[in-house]
Structure 1
Amino acid sequence: MLKRLSLRFVAVFALCLLVTSAMLWPSSPQNLAVEHRLLTSGALAAWRSGRLIVLVRHAERCDRSDNPCLGPIDGLTRPGGASAAAVGSAFHALGMPHSDVFSSPATRTLQTSRLMFAKVHVLPDRQTLCGRAIVHDVYTHKLVGRNLLLVTHSGCISDLERALGYPHADNAEYGSSLFVELTAHGKLKVLGSVASQDWHLALEQLHAYAGTGITRNGLTDL
């Protein structure tokens, strides 16, 4: 009887540990578009100081959708193009003077990056700023005092998340953005992500924040 009780206690204790671990170690980065997290996470301050690395997944690809193509079959859908332009407007509302934009050379990422940001630096191949060396590579591309934005693929975003402590994160959605801070100690810290459809919530946080320079017209345009 005592042995059975002991086994039950161990089982309950192990279950409690699993539940606690799941709560303390979330599988995916937090959503910055809600609960004022764009502000409380430090993402806005880091953006204004040029300390952010932001990985943006391309918009909806046409070869995996029934929606009409924007152009080539290996590019975006028309709704994907509209979504990319809206996300670009959100970043411009944050302010782009201190940001450098790079893009994977794939058709869908090039279309996305040009609709979002117009002028971009095209990387030599898809594996640049991707794969196991992604942490090292972002350090080499990130300039002091300037944000680094990369329009890329879900697999590359997963590579960075895995390297920074999120090995079980959900795959990045079309047009979503992962925010990573380069701290004063030279470490990379995941702050969270914003889905393409949630940018209006994120910008509403900024509009409520004194001194952002975000206007109601800017919010309405999104």
Structure 2
Amino acid sequence: MTLTVHHLNNSRSQRVLFLLEELEVPYEIRRYERNPRTMLAPASLRAVHPLGKSPVVTDGDRTLAETGAIMEYLATTYGDGRLMPQPGSVERERATYYLHYAEGSLMPLLLLQLVFSRLPQQPPKLLRPLLRPLLDGIGRGVDRQFLGPQLALHLNFLDRELDARPWFAGDSFSVADAQMSFPLEIAGLRLKALGAALPNLQNWLDRLRARPAYARALERGGPYEIA
């Protein structure tokens, strides 16, 4: 059987490559490029999965979608006891939590921030000079009143979570850290909030980027160009 990652540039599928490199599992990449105007995935992804979203992984006759489900499947199927803590342990509970938290709680806020930051560019070119100040004001207002405070709440929560342990599930790098890599890369790029105010998160991100598997995944998948 051939394990194939259907990889969209600048997307959640980058952390799937990261996990596979950590597990040292052979895989192939099938590449897809976003539409440069809409930033959406190409229609050809629908031939793999009806929603046409990334990531999608095919493993023999299995087609797997949704990042958390993919990460859990890869860690339990190919991990041989690595990167997925033992069932019933506190570490497993934390790992499961972060597999869901990354997409269920943190990513929606980051996506909303991206959408509102691009509002001024959405009107037709001829109308932009007229509408840009209005749309820019709306975006700034939403960020100031809702998105900014909510993201600060989450980032401070995550920083405190790392007070007692170096990695999100416990003392060792796990699937939870691979799952959290994508939203926190975006947070680091967009919020410029990782640093002196959030030292545990900055240290975590530095250690994550220093892992050989991280470098190999970037080499195969390409760097993030999200900021």
TM-score, normalisation: structure 1: 0.23
TM-score, normalisation: structure 2: 0.23
Structure showing the higher strand proportion among its residues: 1
